[in-house]
Amino acid sequence: MRNFIFYLALILCAITSKLTAQETFESKARAIADKIEQVTLEEKLALKTAVEAVNVRFEKGEITAAQAATEKQALATESAAKIESRVNLLNDELRTLVQEKVNGRIAASDTTKGKRYFSFSFGRNDIKGKKLEYKGEKRTTSQFVFAIGLNNVVTDGSVENSDFRFAGSRFYEWGFTYNTRLFKNDNLLHVKYGMSLMYNDLRPTDNRVFEKQGDQTVLVTSPVNLESARFRNVYLVAPLHLEFDFSKKEVKDDKTLFRTHKSLRLGVGGYAGIRIKSKQKIEYEIDDMEYDQKVKGDFNASNFIYGLSTYIGYRETSLYLKYDLNPLFQNNAIKQNNISLGVRFDLN
C-alpha cells in the first residue's frame, strides 16, 4: 500500500509538472509578445509627446525652424533606436524560451486547449524554431514622416532668376502616414495616406520684403538694411500616394512573407489641404540695437493648397519633389507656384 501511494504521488507530480510547463510556455510567450507591443506603443507615444514639445517651443519663438526640424529628426532616430534595443532584449528572452521548448524542457502547447502554434514577427529578428508560424507585416502599417529641403517658386514656368534665395529658402514637413498593401499576395503596389504639416519658407533677395497692397502682395525694398527676411506659409495637408515597393518577398517553411521599406521605393501622387497661417519675420540692427519683427496675416495667400508630389529612394530614405498647382498668392497678376525638392524619411 505504501509503495502504491508512493508511485501514485510520483505520477501526480509528473503530471502536474508537465501541465505547469505547458502553461508556463504559453503564458511566458504571451507575456513577451505583450511586452513587445507595449514597448512599441510607449516609444511612439513618447516620440509624439516630445515632438509636440518641440512644436510648442518653436511657436513661442524659442528655437528656429531649422533647430526644430533637427530636434525632431534626432528624436525620431533616438526613438527608433530605443525600440530596436528594447525589442532585441525581449527577443533574446523569447529565443531562450523557444530553445527550452525545442530541448524538451517545456511543452510546445497546452494539450488541455488543443494544439496551438505561436507566431512572432519582428522584422530582422524573426524567431527560427520548430512549430513556429512565420508571419510578415500586416497589410496596413504606419510611419512617422519627416522631410526637409530647398523651397522656391516657379514663375512663367521657370525658377531661374528667382526673387528668392536658393540656399536660404527651405521647406519642412512632418506627419504620420498609413501604408496599405493593395493585393493580398503581391507586395508591389501600396496606397499611402495620412496627415502632415508643411512649412514653406521663402527668403527674398536684394533686401526686400513682402508688402500687401490691396489685393496684391508684392516685394518692396526695405527702408532699413536687413540682416534676415523670411516669409512662411504653414499648411495642414492630407497626402495620398500610390507607392511601388520593390522589397522582395521571403519564403520560410513554405510560407510567403511580405516586408516593406526594405528595398527601392517609388511614390506618385499628390496632396490637398488648408493654409493655417502666414508670417513674415525680419531682423535688422540700428545704432547697435537688434530688432526682431514678426508680422502675421493672410498676405493674400491662397487659403487652400493642392499639388503633385513624388519620391524615389531606398528603404526609409527618399528624394522628394512636390509642386503646388495653386498659386502662392490669390490675385497677383503674375502667378507663382511653390516648388520643393529635398529628402524624405519614412520611419516604420
pTM: 0.60
Dist. CA 23–CA 183, nearest whole Å: 38
pLDDT, position 119:
42
- Beta pairing class for 140-155 and 336-347: antiparallel
In the predicted model, residues of the chain with pLDDT beneath 70 are 1-27, 29-30, 91, 95, 97-99, 101-137
Residue 88 to residues 35, 75, 83, 103: CA-CA distances in angstroms?
12, 20, 8, 22
SS (H, E, C) 160-191: CCCCECCCCCEEEEEEEEEEEEEECCEEEEEE
pLDDT per residue as tens digits for the range 290-306: 888 999 999 999 999 99
What does the DSSP 8-state code read for residue 123? G
C-alpha cell at 293: 519683427
Closest by alpha carbon to 272, among 312, 234, 240?
240
State phi, psi for 143 to the nearest 5 degrees: -140, 150
Dist. CA 204–CA 166, nearest whole Å: 10
Please name every residue paired with 186 in a beta bridge, in sequence order, or none if there are none.
183
Closest by alpha carbon to 265, among 85, 149, 145?
145
